[in-house]
Amino acid sequence: MNKLSEDEIRDKLKNLNNWEYKDNKLVKEFKFNTFDDSVNFLKLIQPIADSLDHHPDVHIYYNRVIIELTTHDAGGITDLDFKLAEKIDDLSTHVR
């Protein structure tokens, strides 16, 4: 998987819903009502991440989940990160 250029990343970000590009990662914070909702959200992400063999870095702060995506092997953002970001956005509507 090839690392995307800064211009490619910024262009592709326009197709995502509120994801940011910072510190060489795609980052988004999701807010839920409860800790249980946060954990359930991660349980939905897990099989998709496994199927893509691409796993996010995750931070949980009670009802907030921060997802960070980067392709470590490529040393930056790839199309795979954008693919997973889109799938995560689709899942987030099932938890709220």
Number of structural domains, the chain? Answer: 1
Q: In which region does residue 13 sit, left (phi positive, over 0), alpha (psi from -120 to 50) or beta (all else)?
A: alpha
In the chain the beta strands, taken as DSSP E runs, fall at 20-22, 25-31, 57-61, 64-69
- What's 22's domain CATH number? 3.30.1360.20
Please tell me the pTM assigned to this model. 0.92
Condensed to tens digits (0 to 9), the pLDDT of residues 67-96 reads 999 999 999 999 999 999 999 998 877 665
With respect to residue 34, please indicate whether it lies within any of the assigned structural domains.
Answer: yes
Q: Containing domain of residue 47, as a range?
A: 6-92
With respect to residue 85, please indicate whether it lies within any of the assigned structural domains.
Answer: yes
Condensed to tens digits (0 to 9), the pLDDT of residues 32-42 reads 999 999 999 99
With respect to residue 1, please indicate whether it lies within any of the assigned structural domains.
Answer: no
